[in-house]
Amino acid sequence: MLRLRSSNYLLSALLLFPIITLAEHHAGLEASLQNSSDMEYPQAQWQVAKPDGVGLSGEKIKHLFDLSFADSATQAVVLIKDGFLVGERYAEGFDESSYGTSWSMAKSFYAALIGISIDRGEINSLDDRVADYLDYFNDQRAAISIRDLLDMTSGLEMPDHEHEKMFFTSDHLAYARAVGFEKNAGEKFDYNNVNSMLLAEILENATGQKADVLLKERVFDKIGLTDATLWRDSAGNPLTYCCVDTTARQYSRFGLLFARSGNWNGEQIISADYVNQTFSKVWDGLESSTIEHDRGYSLHWWISRHDEEAVIFNASGKFGQYIFVDRENDIVFTRITKYHPTGGSVQDWGKLRYINWLGSVNFRRKAAELLDSLGVIELNTSIKSPVTYEDGTSKAFFQNYSEIIDALVDVSR
């Protein structure tokens, strides 16, 4: 496993000359994006182009889509090239207006607000101590930086349940505040939802506004992502580690923003420097129990490919939700899983609060589905929360992950 420390500039320069060269290439790419008047951006709707009209093969796109739909959990896939919608497919019973839920893809959304706050001078830098914004970090947590939170290297406690319990509490931020120190910051990658939940309070203290309000005003409204649900917990805290509901087409707008280095139709919404830092390899060699693939991580984005052939980053959700971004080829590929919205935007567990102290997320999901089948509750009316049922839980997509990434790379050849 590789950890590249930003403070060691000389070592980075010596070891990472190919990455520096790539960064120089992106600087030229950013200039062309910002100066070009003929770049396509979606207005209220995406402009549609045929694959061969943007230099792609329809057969290769079909292969990518077929691989994606080999998993019955797939609700929708969308492919964007050069700002045009060049392909989409939907499961039976779903269409372009059907919502999905993001789960942890939302981490990438809210992390963008940190970059914007740095641009605006509300936060000094990624290396600011969290204690500068959260006064209760005046204990063993005092050395943790914002960068540590975003790189998942905070060293905060990581129990066996991986803080899944937080999702079932009424006040997610109170839960996150109480999580203590376990190891030195910057030393070990631990995918910890608490790191992301703390962004809610950091952003509010830095700006005076709730993080979901900031996300809507500073990002979504500017890119036309106006059809979305931003979830809060019962205490009114924005869920900055999960839970943005919208359509596959709309998620793709956020992907395009990062594919264009933070620029949207001439307006620099997020600095290109912050996007470049985001799309740099910090961790690699990361595998999981579900995906056997060499992945990396940086500033709340996953790295699905980073070699001479392709550089592809992605926002990722627990049950197989993805926004893949290939900046070099100006491609966005979005895949979401089947979702059945419960309505509302404020979490309310209703009668399920009586079983929410039991077991893992999967156990509670199955228990809730059983109670629904027995007629004890009606899930779609008894609770208000993002929830993914068995029909939206990926299996084959995870198993075929490497092949799917290869197919995405092949689309651009």
| Residue-level pLDDT at 368 | 78
Q: What domain count does the chain have?
A: 2
Are both 254 and 231 inside the same structural domain? yes
Are both 109 and 210 inside the same structural domain? yes
Give residue 161's identity as a one-letter amino acid code: H
Q: Is residue 366 part of a domain?
A: yes
| Residue-level pLDDT at 361 | 67
Nearest 5°: phi and psi at 44? -65, -35
Are both 358 and 290 inside the same structural domain? no
The helix or strand, by DSSP H or E, that contains position 271, with its residue range, turns out to be: none
Residue 49: CATH number of its domain: 3.40.710.10
Q: Is residue 1 part of a domain?
A: no
Are both 117 and 160 inside the same structural domain? yes
Q: Is residue 2 part of a domain?
A: no
Residue 108 to residues 53, 307, 389: CA-CA distances in angstroms? Answer: 31, 22, 23
Q: Measured on CA atoms in the order 275, 276, 282, 287, is the torsion positive or negative?
A: positive
Q: Is residue 251 part of a domain?
A: yes
| Residue-level pLDDT at 14 | 27
HSE toward the beta carbon, residue 2, CA cutoff 13 A: 17
Are both 162 and 262 inside the same structural domain? yes
Give the DSSP letter of residue 264: E
DSSP-derived secondary structure for 310-323: -EEEEEE-TTS-EE
Are both 167 and 106 inside the same structural domain? yes
Are both 267 and 363 inside the same structural domain? no
Are both 232 and 363 inside the same structural domain? no
Are both 244 and 371 inside the same structural domain? no
| Residue-level pLDDT at 229 | 98
CA neighbor of 300 nearest in space, from 216, 191, 212: 191
Tokens of 33: 């994006």
Task: Say which residues have a Cβ less than 8 Å from residue 2's Cβ, sequence separation at least 6.
Answer: 281, 283, 284, 285
| Residue-level pLDDT at 218 | 98
| pTM across the whole model | 0.89
Task: Say which residues have a Cβ less than 8 Å from residue 289's Cβ, sequence separation at least 6.
Answer: none
For each successive 10 residues of the chain (413 residues), what is the average pLDDT? 36 32 48 60 98 98 98 98 98 98 98 98 98 98 98 96 90 98 95 98 98 98 97 98 98 98 98 97 85 93 94 97 98 98 93 73 75 79 89 97 98 94
Are both 222 and 363 inside the same structural domain? no
Are both 362 and 263 inside the same structural domain? no
Neighbours of 100 (CB within 10 A): 29
| Residue-level pLDDT at 356 | 72
| Residue-level pLDDT at 355 | 72
DSSP-derived secondary structure for 163-199: TGGGGGSS-HHHHHHT--B-S-TTS-----HHHHHHH
| Residue-level pLDDT at 371 | 82
Q: Is residue 3 part of a domain?
A: no
| Residue-level pLDDT at 111 | 98
Q: Is residue 77 part of a domain?
A: yes
CA neighbor of 249 nearest in space, from 51, 64, 97, 107: 97
Q: Exposed (0-12), middle (13-18) or buried (19+): which is 85, by Cβ within 10 Å?
A: buried
Nearest 5°: phi and psi at 321? -95, 135
What is the spatial distance between Cα 244 and Cα 248, in angstroms, rounded to a whole number? 12
Nearest 5°: phi and psi at 76? -160, 150
Look at the block and give the residue holding tokens 């952003």.
203
Q: Is residue 305 part of a domain?
A: yes
What is the spatial distance between Cα 65 and Cα 118, in angstroms, rounded to a whole number? 38
Q: The domain containing residue 375 runs over which residues?
A: 350-383
Are both 260 and 379 inside the same structural domain? no
Give the DSSP letter of residue 83: T
> Which ranges of 220-349 does DSSP label H, i.e. alpha helix?
221-223, 248-259, 272-278
Q: Is residue 104 part of a domain?
A: yes
